[in-house]
């Protein structure tokens, strides 16, 4: 799941971009909905309240 890995890496290097940009928040929400979503993405989605 490369989208999940990319989002985790983006959150690690530029957390403000992930936390405040609507498009990034929507991407996190979409990836978190997958049954095999990485646990880090699920945690991030919960932190952002986008689940």
pLDDT at residue 34 in the model: 93
What is the end-to-end Cα distance of the chain in Å, rounded? 18
Whether the CB-CB separation of 40 and 9 falls below 8 Å is answered with no
pLDDT at residue 15 in the model: 94
Closest CA to 29 of 12, 14, 21, 9: 21
pLDDT at residue 51 in the model: 75
Q: What is the pLDDT of residues 1-51, one digit of tens each?
A: 588 889 999 999 999 999 999 999 999 999 999 999 989 999 999 999 997
pLDDT at residue 2 in the model: 86
For the chain, the domains span 2-48
pLDDT at residue 40 in the model: 93
pLDDT at residue 1 in the model: 58
């Amino acid at each position: 799941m490369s989208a999940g890995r990319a989002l985790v890496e983006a959150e690690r290097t530029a957390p403000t971009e992930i936390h405040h940009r609507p498009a990034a928040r929507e991407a996190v929400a979409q990836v978190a909905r997958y049954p095999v979503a990485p646990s880090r993405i699920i945690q991030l989605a919960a932190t952002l309240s986008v689940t």
